[in-house]
Amino acid sequence: MEDAYKVINHTLVSLINEIWELEEKAIITEEFKDLSNKDMHVIEAVGLGDGNNMSAIAKKLNITVGSLTTAMNSLVNKKYVERRRSEEDRRVVFVKLTEKGVKAYRHHEDYHRQMTQTILDKLDEDELPVLLKTLDALGDFFKGYSEKK
């Protein structure tokens, strides 16, 4: 059990570090060199379609609206997103991806698709439930740890 603990701990720590580092290298290409990893995750949280309001996006990212405003100002200046005020309530600000933002979103989505497909290609059908259970436990840990803070 001690050996399994060491292997799992080492693998998780290595994976988290590698995912963060490699994702940045993979998604911040020449075309998107003006974006950071954080910017790309804000773009992902804005999503496709008619966009979303700032509060909903901040909640998705688990950050304050103030922190999101700073990131959003930068993305507006770089022409990845556009803002508009609600007609019904002028205090509500909606954010929507521009064409350039949609292109960045699709690029990031493709990286995630490749990563996920690589895992699925290596698993047998009977191994999938074990992976899902493991990822669920990991998700529960992160959520619980985040809520404690």
pTM for this entry: 0.79
Query: Which DSSP string corresponds to the chain?
Result: -HHHHHHHHHHHHHHHHHHHHHHHHHHS-STTTT--HHHHHHHHHH-STT-EEHHHHHHHHTS-HHHHHHHHHHHHHTTSEEEEE-SS-TT-EEEEE-HHHHHHHHHHHHHHHHHHHHHHHH--TTTHHHHHHHHHHHHHHHHHHHHH-
Q: pLDDT grade, residue 149 (50/70/90)? A: low
Please write the tens of the pLDDT for every residue from 61-90: 989 999 999 999 999 999 999 998 878 888
Please write the tens of the pLDDT for every residue from 18-76: 887 887 777 778 888 899 888 999 999 999 988 789 999 999 998 999 999 999 999 99
How far apart are the C-alpha atoms of 143 and 68, rounded to whole Å? Answer: 20
**At residue 146, does pLDDT exceed 70?**
no
